[in-house]
Structure 1
Amino acid sequence: MVYETGNQTVDDAVRRVLDGETLDRTDGLALIAQPAEALAAGADLVRREFSDGTVDACSIVNAKAGDCAEDCGFCAQSAHFDTGIDTYGFLGPEKVLEAAKRAEADGAQRFGIVVAEKGVSKEHRPDEWNEIIEAIRLVRDETDVEVDASLGLLTEDEAEILSEEGLNHYNHNIETSRRYFPEVVGTHDFEDRLKTLRRAKAAGMELCAGVILGMGESPTDRVDAAIELQDIGVSSLPVNILNPVAGTPMGDADHAAISKSEVIKTIAVYRLLHPHSRVRLTGGREVNLAPDEQHLPFEAGADGMLTGDYLTTEGQDPGDDIEIVERAGLEPNRAVNDFDPEEVKAKHRDPATDTAVGTATSNATSELDD
């Protein structure tokens, strides 16, 4: 196989990854200092060697919005900040199922149930806990998508129950490096997040854990975050780019504190450090990358995306996302939910079609008022 990019650091790293070696922090720091073009070429080769040539799409629903007691500096849902978002309690199992069916129709392979709180509590909020379990069962039994969830901190018992109920991936982002984390969050610490990830993995769930780029972190922080995730073992690594929300401590900027080139470089380095994981481009891509640039991360090692709306902001049309995937020379993944990409694109040419699921602002809040 030809894998020469002309950059010795990148070429040596690619050769070692293809030979089965795991790159370390020293490698990551050397790589992230290399030019974006060489990194993208090397990472794309590694992706082609180890993946199936598809981009895996997931969608989410904001199943409980706002009034979160945590103070994450990027988050519109924190009760510490005045961001003007709609807030509501848990939507209920049937509404979550409706969102899952919309995601299924839009080609998602995975569907994530997300709640805004430090952590679900089987002990302190048993009614809500039981509704979440029922929602998982409904999505599992009545759709073809795999069920994921992001429910905050977990106890060992809660993790065991979620695994037994068939939860596929547990999402719990570490956001940034251990060093930089206190600059982002003050109400819990980095180790709290790692404990929950370890509990979820010990219970048998796959891990979906990643970062937010552009919060003022350094390239070294980006590498250190990837090494933490390497140590704990993730199968899905979501890469968000900050979408500044007015009212939050990080809301003053017009865009994330990271360039397009640095985004591409980080995606490529993450691919080289995580050759067997789905490196998933998620929130903030539409704000920080122009429409004719969004295919570039998928030519630099990314092989997953979040499609549809996000938690409190609108996302991109799923039909447009399929076209971005195809522009990068890849295909939508259809291993779990075998949909017709052409039907999705045709459906979303109709301006009356609902965008898939993530924010509950357009669909769920009106239903709550009924």
Structure 2
Amino acid sequence: MTERPSASAIAAKVEAFVRDVVTPFERDPRRSGHGPSEDLVEQLRELARKAGVMTPHILADGSHLSQRETAMVLKNSGLSPLGPLACNTAAPDEGNMYLLGKIGSPEQKARFLAPLVEGRARSAFFMTEPAAEGGAGSDPSMLLTTARRDGDAWLINGRKAFITGVDGAKVGIIMAKSDDGACMFLVDLPNPAIRIERVLDTIDSSMPGGHAVVAIENLRVPADQMLGEPGSGFKSAQIRLSPARLSHCMRWYGAASRAHEIAVDYACRREAFGKLLIDHEGVGFQLADNLIELKQAELMIDWCADVLDSGSLGVAESSMAKVAVADALFRVADRCVQVMGGTGVSNDTIVAQVFCEIRAFRIYDGPTEVHKWSLAKKIKRDHLEVRSS
């Protein structure tokens, strides 16, 4: 029997790969406002296969590292905005693989999960809908996309928005409401019934395919491609959402750490007013604040990972982690830009991109305010339960 590799060994291997092999591609012209091109992704993934770091959080026997172990690996894959793409730890694929691994049937895993784990396909998660139409966003109960039973299949109609990576994806998971409640469906992509209306111009640019507005018109899906049971869509989504929020924190922790490294190097070499920038309190104290908040974010990630590893869904805990980590990492990235001045807002380093990516992260997977509102409801509910007992 082959001995299970340690998470620390996997993480070290990923870090070396990202630093030595991936970072030179950060200046590759095949990166655009809508994300890296497909040929760049394929090239990076081929290099990852050769280095033995393709989908490193899922082991050869199909087992998944614990959340605490996954944190070690994903933080290192995030040291470059291109790292998660190369190592196949990026959103939305990482979350979709996790969900399929948990509730997919053996046939669904063979058909839809296997190519994702192998890094031969990308995926998209179709949940958010256009705000102008009153569809689901932070409130999934507003879901408007419909699924109607039609013989041995389902007929799906609706519009979706901010669908990450759908342009170029081969696997889709679609949320729609039926008479039984919310449902999830697996589909092959592209499909003529799923039409990309436009790819949005957004401040982030790390995900291939960008974020698209999509029309779904009379999409026919065989009944055996429903993921989970009829009406279980929201429950299934919770299986995915808490770990997915946390893995976002893991990856962007790595990116913010790298931005901090770059800012420290700059401050320790650049001179102004007769001394190094680091020796000016206005600069040195900002970097000290970064060090403190990076450690706080790391501890928050590990705490939430332990909660999930205990078997809990960790809904409240992942909300707390998402708010605390996203906001802290944004402050870290913002200070890095400020410390580096004009260089910090240029594309000469990845600092400006990390700033933009983490700014978007404060909205994606639930805005800070929505998570705080959810936590406030929990506080009230818990208080009332204590009073009534």
TM-score range, shorter chain: under 0.3
TM-score w.r.t. length of structure 2? 0.26
Higher strand residue share: 2
Structure number, greater radius of gyration: 2
Higher helix residue share: 2
